[in-house]
Amino acid sequence: MWTVAGTHLLLLSLSLSLSLVLCGQAGTYWTYSGSLGQDRWAESFPACGGDLQSPVDVETSSAQHDPSLTPVRPLGYSQPGNDLFTLTNNGHTVEMSLPGTMALEGLPWRFSAVQLHLHWGSGGQGGGAEHLIDGQSTNAELHVVHYNSDLFPNVSAALSQQGGLAVLAVLIQTGEETNPAYQNIFNYLGNVRYTGQKVSVPPFNVQMLLPKQLDRFYRYNGSLTTPPCYQSVLWTVFSERVTVSYTQMERLQTALVAGAPGSAHVVPLQDNFRGTQPLNGRLILTSFPPDSAPAFSVGEVCAVVVGVLCGCGGLAVTVHFIVNRLRSSSSWDVLPSVRTAVQPRGQEPKEPKQNVVFKTTPDPEREEGPPKQ
């Protein structure tokens, strides 16, 4: 009978197995550049030369809106339990194990979480994310990896099968404010500086790593972005970006190295992103019309309404004050050019003309515009 500790060890073992596969087959080494760089991956890993490779450049004008796409629904992300996460430097990226109690719904099947990892640049050349949106890159990208637990018993069985994996892609940009959710990871980077080092991380709300708008995304069929490049991934690339501070991004770009302590071949762990791959006729679906504006929350709508009302109230007070000031002043001094003409004795003043009332009702003959989407 499995104990809680035994189950955790099994999940950790599966996560480490996936890590080894994502880093390449046993005995085969690869890099992002140089003689073993991504241009040569297909020589050792044939799937890397396939027609369904990732990442891709999402052209929003060509993406097809599919109203049947439902929002991604993370399960257990906000309450990961008491088991510690394991953060590892595997020589290609920093990854963190996730408990199998975390899962995704809103996809064709249920997908259970395995691990998350990051891709980033070096700061000098810009970029670092793997997926592009209309040719534009961000500084880094988070991938949350899941396997199809409806069809397969574990991640190893699902890894190379069509529809076996689902990956959430979060584009990360830089700003002024520190992101506390990502700090749960960045705080421990110094403990995994060298390849093979691991550190335990207290569990935290993983959903805070994701964008707030989980209903706005692009979806397509693709592959792992590292060898062996199995074409088994259902990708969800969120439209909304997540922001971390400049200091946090600099730490990610400089804290890690590839190589063991004391090795003569230690190099900075940077620019660990794959170039975009051809679509080869693949269709990218979008959960929202490409030209639609982001939806506002109830709180945001209320804030706008209150702001407008306050602004109108302030304007009314200002106008009332000005009118009263004008009335309190002598009309002969303020408006000498509009003094009333003296009427002859015995002649009644003429009635002023009625103000013109402009038509404010809609013209029935006017053609209505197209309905809003």
As annotated, the active-site residues are 92
Q: Diameter of the chain by CA atoms? A: 117
Bridge partners (DSSP) listed for residue 172: 140, 242
d(CA 258, CA 269): 5
CA distances from 371 to 25, 287, 361, 367 (A): 55, 20, 20, 12
Our separate counts of H helices and E strands in the chain read: 7, 17
Under 8 Å between Cβ of 217 and 171: no
Q: What is the DSSP string of 41-91?
A: HHHH-GGGGSSS-S--EE-TTTPEE-TTPPPPEEESSS---SSPEEEEE-S
Bridge partners (DSSP) listed for residue 102: none
Q: Does residue 116 sit in helix, strand or coil?
A: strand
Burial 37-67 (b: 16+ CB within 10 A, else e): ebeebeeebebbebebbbbbbbeeeebeeee
d(CA 50, CA 68): 29
The C-alpha R_g of the chain, in whole angstroms, comes to 31
Could you tell me which of 159, 282, 130, 168 has the C-alpha nearest to residue 230? 159
H/E element, 237? strand 233-238
CA distances from 86 to 91, 210, 226 (A): 15, 19, 21
Q: What residues contact residue 337 under an 8 Å CB cut-off, 6+ apart?
A: none
Q: Where are the alpha helices (DSSP H) in 109-221?
A: 155-158, 180-186
Could you tell me which of 28, 138, 14, 4 has the C-alpha nearest to residue 82? 4
